[in-house]
Chain A
Amino acid sequence: MYRILVVAHAPLASAVVKVVEDILGQDAPVYALDTRIDQTPEGRRKQAADMINELLEDGELLLLVDFLGGTPSNVVIPYLGREGVDIVSGFNIPLLFKAVDWAREGRAVEEAAMALKAYGSQHIERVADRLTSKA
């Protein structure tokens, strides 16, 4: 089972992980790494290294970052070449829920990451369009 580390501008990572845990259970394999403005660049990198290395000890790791080009993505992109690591940027709550489901099903992280890109996009909707499609 891969585990999921959400890496985002504080307090987003902690906040979405709490949402996931509240809805899917405290045993959801999801963790938070908030990047804070009061951290030094070296401090952020060390914190990320410590968490990622620890999580990788028990299997594969899916890194979810808020957007490419921001500090969180700059911190974790160097791990892209590590075995068992995949990275998806631009997550949303449905994507997180599905990532947890697939982790619990035992999917491989690369397979999940590839499918999550489409899944997350499909779950951004203009709600009024649903009325039109049902008419």
Chain B
Amino acid sequence: MIVDIRIDDRLVHGQVLQGWVPKLGVNTIIVVCNSELRRTELDAIYGLTMPASLKVIVVSTDHLLETMDLARQGEERVMILAGDLESLAAIPADHLVPRITLGNLCNSPNTFEEKQQDLGHCEDVHTVAQLSKSFGCTGSQMRQIGELLSRGVRIVACAGVHDSAKEITEVSC
């Protein structure tokens, strides 16, 4: 079963391993990565660093839908972990359950410059930059979130396990 679909541009890292994996009882993480070179590198990294009790599989977006279908039918407790929202763009809304959790997305390339540009298009600068106390994103990411919301996907912003989860029901831009 899929217990969480998480967006975190740091992919598997301490906050995921030490916080979310034990909290959600995850025993399998499916990491989404479209670069073949990076997938090979991640396979090597995770092969060395992950605990034996945790299976980590790296897949491209081409194989994500079928992988999610298999995960949903299986007995493993699976986290889908993507580094960006684009990775989920082609996934039907009824597959993006139980919800998408926005973890960390403030560190994409050109984040600072893009925030500066997008801030000029919105009256409420706080809405563009921060969706919750611990989750910030750019204007273009806000629009991607809006697109997912329009498809009926449930979205929650929560970076760390001790953060208060904020249900995202609308975005301003």
The interface of chain A, by Cβ under 8 A from chain B, is 9, 37-43, 67-71, 73-74, 77-78, 80
Q: A40-B108, A78-B45 are in contact. List 19 more A-B contacts (CB 8 A).
A: A37-B104, A40-B9, A40-B111, A41-B83, A43-B107, A68-B48, A68-B49, A69-B13, A69-B18, A69-B50, A70-B13, A70-B14, A70-B17, A71-B10, A71-B13, A74-B45, A74-B49, A77-B49, A78-B41
A37 near B107 with CB under 8 A, answer yes
CA A68 – CA B51 in complex, angstroms?
A: 9
Interface residue SS majority, chain B: loop
B129 within 8 Å of A by Cβ? Answer: no
> Please, could you name 5 A-B residue pairs with CB atoms under 8 Å apart, sorted by A?
A40-B111, A41-B10, A69-B12, A74-B10, A77-B44
Bound form: Cα–Cα A73–B108 in Å: 20
A68 (CB) vs chain B CBs: closest residue = B49
Nearest chain A residue, comparing its CB with the CB of B54:
A69
For the complex, is B80 an interface residue (Cβ under 8 Å from A)?
no
Closest to A77 in B: B45
Rounded to whole Å, the gap between the CB of A64 and the closest CB of chain B is 15
With A70-B17, A71-B10 given, is the CB distance from A42 to B109 under 8 Å?
yes
Q: Is B106 a contact of A77 with CB atoms below 8 Å?
A: no
A80 with B48: in contact, given A37-B104, A41-B9 (CB under 8 Å)?
A: yes
How would residues 35 to 71 of chain B score, 1 for a CB under 8 Å from any chain A CB and 0 otherwise? 0000001001100111100000000000000000000
- Known contacts A41-B10, A67-B14; A73 and B107 CB within 8 A of each other: no
- Distance in Å from the Cβ of B43 to the closest Cβ of chain A? 11
Q: Which residue of B lies closest to A70 (CB)?
A: B14
Min CB–CB distance A43 → chain B (angstroms): 8
Q: Which residue of B lies closest to A42 (CB)?
A: B109
Closest to B41 in A: A78
Q: Which residues of A contact B44 (CB under 8 A)?
A: 77-78
Min CB–CB distance B4 → chain A (angstroms): 18
CA A27 to CA B32, docked complex, whole Å: 44
Per-residue contact bits, chain B 85-109, to A (CB 8 Å; 1 contact, 0 not): 0000000000000000000101111
Chain B residue with Cβ nearest A73: B49
Query: With a CB–CB cut-off of 8 A, which chain B residues contact A78?
Result: 41, 44-45
- How many whole Å from A81's CB to the nearest CB in chain B? 9
* 6 nearest CB pairs, A to B: A70-B14, A68-B49, A71-B13, A69-B17, A77-B45, A40-B107
- Report B-chain residues with C-beta under 8 Å of the C-beta of A43: 107
Give B111-151 as 1s and 0s: 1 = Cβ < 8 Å from A's Cβ atoms. Answer: 10000000000000000000000000000000000000000
